[in-house]
Every structure is written in C-alpha cells, then in structure tokens.
Amino acid sequence: MIQLAETGFLRLPQIIGDPKSDPPIPAIIPVCKSTWYEGVKSGRYPKPVRLSRRSSAWRVEDIRKLIDEVTA
C-alpha cells in the first residue's frame, strides 16, 4: 500500500499514477485522467486547490477521505 503524508498536496500523476515516468508512479486511485476529471466535475472526487495560474493539486486529507469512502 502507498504511504500518504498526514497533510500536504498531491498532483494528479501521484493520484492516478504514471507508468511512463522514471521510476514509474503507482496509482492510488486507478482511473484514467478523463475519468478523474469527470468525477471531479460530478462531485464524486474532490475538487482541486489552485496553487498558481497553471498548477492545481488535491489535499492529502481529501484523498484519504475518498479512499476511506471507497473501501468502507
């Protein structure tokens, strides 16, 4: 299982994984990018936090809550 920090932010590749990176990043939530953004739009997945004009990330706390809801 992937260890998540108590607080902080995760970028999208850290959440959905990136097998092409070196080293490969394993997925926490194994869905494709379009599925993830559809889930964000529908409210199924948490909304991102804007870090800058071109950068968004998700709170670790929100991802932990999502994992708890899915595995419960």
pLDDT on residue 10: 97
Distance CA 20, CA 17 (A): 9
Torsion of CA 7, 13, 34, 39, to 10 degrees: -10
Confidence of residue 3 (pLDDT cuts 50, 70, 90): confident
Using the predicted structure, report yes or no on whether residue 1 has a pLDDT greater than 80: no
Residue 2 has pLDDT above 80, yes or no: no
DSSP code per residue over 16-51: H-BTTSSSPBPPSS---HHHHHHHHHHTSSPPPEEE
Per-residue pLDDT at 72 exceeds 90: no
Give pLDDT tens digits for 29-70: 999 999 999 999 999 999 999 999 999 999 999 999 999 998
C-alpha 8/C-alpha 59 separation (Å) is 6
